[in-house]
Amino acid sequence: MILVTGASGRIGSRVAKYLVSQQQPLRLMSRTPDNLPDYEGVEKVFGDFEDQESLETAFDGIYTALIISGQALPGNRCVGHKYAFDAAKAANVGHVVYLSLLGATPESEFPYCRDHYQSEKFLAASGVPHTVLRPSFYLDHFLEKFDANGVIRGPGGTGNGAFVSREDVARAAAAAVLAKPGGVLEITGPELLSIDDVARRIGYLVGKDLKYVNEFLTETQNRLNAADVSKGKQNLEIGWFQAISKGEQSKLTDDFSKLTKAEPQTLEEYFGENLELLNKLRAPSVSDADPTR
Ligand SMILES: NC(=O)c1ccc[n+]([C@@H]2O[C@H](COP(=O)([O-])OP(=O)(O)OC[C@H]3O[C@@H](n4cnc5c(N)ncnc54)[C@H](OP(=O)(O)O)[C@@H]3O)[C@@H](O)[C@H]2O)c1
């Protein structure tokens, strides 16, 4: 039996579909399992990384578990993941696949990378055979970075990354679950792109002049302070850009192809197949309506 945590999420729901299509014995975990879709023969279970008892039940009878990182503040989140690894150990799980993040080091500029590093340490210490998937930053995440004028602003410099689609992360995760424990795999997109490349190429898809404007750190801090953004959120926002700026995402690997026997999607292939993701950027308020640009 395979357990998928985060099964309601954008990665987990895709993984569930892949595994269902391959008729794998499956249990899906969520904090609101009643909201999960019904698949014939697929179990649904309540589980919360902050509730150890629930994890004991969720992992009982499981041979392989995909643990998709949950949502909590950096520093707290890895503790919930540790509870999941402990539950896997107690249930004699034979293979944990953990969804981490490229650049997971204790020195990373991005707080969630440091948190993933800590999670990976907990996983290794558990002794459970495992695969760690470290995807690049998601292409999807860039969509949230545009302001109302269609500009991404931040201290990302000229850094780049082989940013990856959620679809490919899900495909890699489904393949990893069905493979033997494989150590650390770095799941990247097919090409290194700067932030400006991403902005302009998304702009081309929506027919708008979208772009990236690099900021000095103090400019970003002043802008976020003026918008009353909390210190914790500022650290996340700034750290994301600085991780790119410092080259933490500048890696192109063939781990995706080796694992899935397919090629990762380009930006155009992914968004072309998921046009609804771009709807917000097509709205008139972005770029076209602002005569001051
Ligand atoms: N690499 C990147 O650029 C990037 C960007 C965004 C996110 N991420 C990470 O990748 C993960 C998966 O991405 P996604 O797009 O699928 O995220 P998503 O759509 O936001 O889904 C997050 C999932 O996490 C589950 N979850 C949250 N808190 C939990 C908890 N305390 N216990 C158990 N489950 C919990 C949620 O399940 P329920 O609410 O149903 O319990 C949900 O299914 C995210 O959670 C995040 O850690 C990475």
For 163-180, the pLDDT digits (tens) are 999 999 999 999 999 999
What's the pLDDT tens digit per position in 67-107?
999 999 999 999 999 999 999 999 999 999 999 999 999 99
- Among 64-78, 156-170, 279-293, which is the least confidently predicted range? 279-293
- Is residue 47 within 8 A of residue 54, CB to CB? The reply is yes
Work out which ligand 1 atom sits closest to the CA atom of 112.
47
Distance (Å, rounded) from C-alpha 157 to C-alpha 136? 18
pLDDT confidence of 14, banded at 50, 70, 90? Answer: very high
Work out which ligand 1 atom sits closest to the CA atom of 48.
32
Spatial CA neighbour of 97 closest among 166, 171, 25: 171
Question: 71: phi > 0 → left, psi -120 to 50 → alpha, else beta; which?
Answer: beta
Using CA of residue 166, residue 92, residue 184, residue 121, what is the dihedral sign?
Answer: positive
- Is residue 68 within 8 A of residue 138, CB to CB? The reply is no
What's the pLDDT tens digit per position in 224-244?
999 999 999 999 999 999 999
Asked if the model's pLDDT at residue 217 lies above 80, the reply is yes
Spatial CA neighbour of 214 closest among 163, 146, 152, 167: 152
| Residue 70, ligand 1, Cβ within 6 A | yes
Query: What is the predicted pLDDT for the residue at 285?
Result: 62
Going from the Cα of 290 to the center of ligand 1, the distance in angstroms, rounded, reads 34
| Residue 103, ligand 1, Cβ within 6 A | no
Asked if the model's pLDDT at residue 293 lies above 50, the reply is no
For residue 96, give both structure tokens. Answer: 């944990």
pLDDT confidence of 283, banded at 50, 70, 90? Answer: confident
- Is residue 35 within 8 A of residue 66, CB to CB? The reply is no
Rounded to 5 degrees, what are φ and ψ at 40? -60, 130
Going from the Cα of 84 to the center of ligand 1, the distance in angstroms, rounded, reads 14
Work out which ligand 1 atom sits closest to the CA atom of 31.
41
Asked if the model's pLDDT at residue 289 lies above 90, the reply is no
Asked if the model's pLDDT at residue 193 lies above 80, the reply is yes
Residue 153: strand pairing partners? 213
Asked if the model's pLDDT at residue 292 lies above 50, the reply is no
Burial label for 43, CB within 10 Å (0-12, 13-18, 19+), is: middle
**% of residues, the chain, pLDDT over 90:** 96
Q: Whose CA is nearest to atom 11 of ligand 1?
A: 69
Query: What is the predicted pLDDT for the residue at 291?
Result: 36
Asked if the model's pLDDT at residue 12 lies above 80, the reply is yes
For residue 122, give both structure tokens. Answer: 């907990």
Asked if the model's pLDDT at residue 290 lies above 60, the reply is no
Asked if the model's pLDDT at residue 65 lies above 60, the reply is yes
* Statement: the pTM of the whole predicted model exceeds 0.85: yes
| Residue 100, ligand 1, Cβ within 6 A | no
Q: Measuring CA to CA, how many Å separate 284 from each of 91, 158, 210, 262?
A: 53, 29, 13, 37
Asked if the model's pLDDT at residue 286 lies above 90, the reply is no
Computed over every residue of the chain, the mean pLDDT equals 96
- Domains of the chain, start order: 2-137+163-187 (3.40.50.720)
Distance (Å, rounded) from C-alpha 154 to C-alpha 166? 23
Burial label for 84, CB within 10 Å (0-12, 13-18, 19+), is: buried
